[in-house]
A and B are shown apart, each in its own frame.
Chain A
Amino acid sequence: MSELIAQLTEWRTALERVLPWWWPRALALALLAGGALMPFLVSEAGDFMNASVIALAYVVMALGLNIVVGFAGLLDLGYVAFYAFGAYCVGWFGSGFFFRAHVHVLVSKVASTLPGIHLNFLLILLSAVVITSVAGTIIGLPTLRLRGDYIAIVTLAFGEIIGVTAVNGQDIHLGGGMTLTAGNLGIPAVDPPYFPGIGLFSQLDLRPWYWLIYAVMVLVLVVNLRVRDSRLGRAWIALREDEVAAVSMGIPLVRTKLLAYAIGAAFGGMSGAFLGALYTSVNAGQFAFSFSIFVLAMIIVGGLGSIWGAVVGALALSYTNYYLIPDVLNEVPHKFGLNFNLTQLSFGIYGFLLVLVMVLRPQGLLPERRRRLELTEAVASSETMLEESG
């Protein structure tokens, strides 16, 4: 095993010597262009297209959580809360749920005749960003004095509080017969996104959905890359490494940590709003703890703190969950004469995959540069120790 890894590293360095310095940038651009053109190659409402749209939404989620957990080192187990806030933004501001209100801003002709609040989808995204970043700051405040596992517990509780509030929100009356949420019944008939010139998004053609979330993902990706290599990104990593030293070197603890929470939450909210619209209803049952773990698993599999790792981890786990298991391999057990579907085993498969990655590649699929340096150098030094003793 170690010989194989050594061989691969050797090939890799040889390859890097041949390729010009800008090859990672060129590769990234080529991949991004390929991703944008992908919908032309598959059926416009097929299973693969559907899985791709969801996968991209999860990439946005993973990139958001990566800022909080990967960069700033704040173990957030309540990320589902921001999914919920984002989705409810669509429920509240893009459906007839608040039926006593009549607010219409830049929406389709059909929607503008309906009761309720109907905002253009971009405005909904904006409201999701505002609401979730405020929520992120609020959850951040009580964790400022805490470290490590204790942050995990507080954020976990926050996620649960939001989830339970969503379920019981149908009993929170806002007057006029309107409630805060529709609980497990769900807020039905959420407006699909509408843009003048493009028209209404339809479930029969998922390509506009794909390009919309693709654009959001590229935006979030650029923000991630730029912030990582900025004064703020450095400050996050310094806080993650040594909080006492970081504040002594002039980094404002409260501001810097809260910014991480707020930005991470805002990305989760954008993605949540998109998923709310895609699923056409906002159901409190969606906001379970397992969602937070699912997104966390993505960034760990990809490589904690690594932006491209978060992208790859999110794609790998969502395609496995939404395409590979239910659509491609689901019938495999039947072919062996076994009487069950693979979807029934999906959690078992996940667990196995996670263990496999953690054993074979503990630093993740595409580790952050720093972690790669750490791990490879640790290996190198242990090898020299062996040489010296042998």
Chain B
Amino acid sequence: MEAHAPAAAPPPSPGDAGGLLRAENTTKEFGGLVAVNGVSLEVPRHAIVSLIGPNGAGKTTLFNMLTGLYKPTSGRIFFAGRDITRKRPDVITSLGLARTFQNIRLFGAMSALENVMIGRHSRMRAGLFGSIVRAPWVRREEREVRERAREQLAYVGVRESYFDQLARNLSYGDQRRVEIARALASDPTLLLLDEPTAGMNPRESDALTDFMRKLRDELSLTILLIEHDMRVVMGVSERITVVDHGNKIAEGSPAEVRSNERVIEAYLGRRA
């Protein structure tokens, strides 16, 4: 983290000062329920950051605010120097932020390949008339996107014979992989993974941990993940943010978080 901070004290402008993504005092209320209460979060460029907390702590709600699915009740969110607080999800995606979902949300009746091509939607230009007349550049774009999608599926480790299978017929592990390929298809700079190792055995989790590092290094991605598996969290993250009951209770390196009293209390309960 320190390596990325500028030497001189940066001006407190709503820019790219601290990191790629910055949430400032974001709050989300549903009726009377405060799901996220003034949480601030900073994700430095090229880092892997984890967001952890017990069930119902508000992690996914925070994710949904970052990606534009929910509008925050208050607070502001900056991405790559731009205020994205009330932007639509598709606009945020086109700015370079992509995500996966906790309970995989692939388009079940579309093939694995088509799912990844959908991920490319925001980078494509073909409109209604171009598609109707099948202009040469539209054909070329379509062909290139298809080719890229194949490469991306291969990159995440989906076997070629599954490319044209309907997404809902793929195995759980392959569905997870397709979902990551779909997110990568939009050329993101920041990837949000919502419990990527849910339902995986230790060996698969380890493979995914390695894969996250590979993504970060090869595609120069920044990764923010929600994770429950502490082995993965402690192994992969450079920085951890802990939330509980909608409040941020700790932040820091894995070692710092591990020894934090409030974190232990949130996970294990108060000492008798």
A-to-B contact residues, CB < 8 Å: 222-223, 226-227, 230-235, 237-238, 241-242, 244-253, 259, 263, 370-371, 373-374, 377
- Chain B residues with CB under 8 Å of A244's CB are 69, 105
Decide yes or no whether B7 CB sits under 8 A from chain A.
no
- 7 A-B pairs with least C-beta separation: A250-B122, A230-B131, A250-B93, A241-B107, A245-B105, A370-B109, A247-B89
Decide yes or no whether B99 CB sits under 8 A from chain A.
yes
Give the Cβ gap from B166 to chain A, nearest Cβ, in Å.
6
A234 and B131: CB pair below 8 A? Answer: no
B118 and A251: CB pair below 8 A? Answer: yes
Residue from A232, A250, A263 within 8 A of B90 (CB atoms): A250
B-to-A contact residues, CB < 8 Å: 67, 69, 88-90, 93-94, 98-99, 101, 105-110, 114, 117-119, 121-124, 126-128, 131-132, 134, 138, 142, 166, 168-169, 182-183, 186
B126 and A252: CB pair below 8 A? Answer: no
- Chain A residues with CB under 8 Å of B132's CB are 222-223, 226-227
Q: How far is the CA of A259 from the CA of B127 in the complex (A)?
A: 11
Give the Cβ gap from B168 to chain A, nearest Cβ, in Å.
8
Q: Which residue of B lies closest to A370 (CB)?
A: B109
Residue from A226, A234, A374 within 8 A of B118 (CB atoms): A234
A232 and B128: CB pair below 8 A? Answer: yes
A249 and B182: CB pair below 8 A? Answer: yes
- Chain B residues with CB under 8 Å of A226's CB are 131-132, 134
Give the Cβ gap from A382 to chain B, nearest Cβ, in Å.
14
Q: Which residue of A lies closest to B167 (CB)?
A: A241
- Chain B residues with CB under 8 Å of A252's CB are 88, 90
Give the Cβ gap from B260 to chain A, nearest Cβ, in Å.
32
Residue from A222, A227, A234, A253 within 8 A of B117 (CB atoms): A234
Q: How far is the CA of A237 from the CA of B110 in the complex (A)?
A: 8
- Chain B residues with CB under 8 Å of A245's CB are 101, 105-107
B128 and A237: CB pair below 8 A? Answer: no
Q: How far is the CA of A251 from the CA of B123 in the complex (A)?
A: 10
B107 and A246: CB pair below 8 A? Answer: yes
A230 and B126: CB pair below 8 A? Answer: yes
Q: Which residue of B lies closest to A223 (CB)?
A: B132
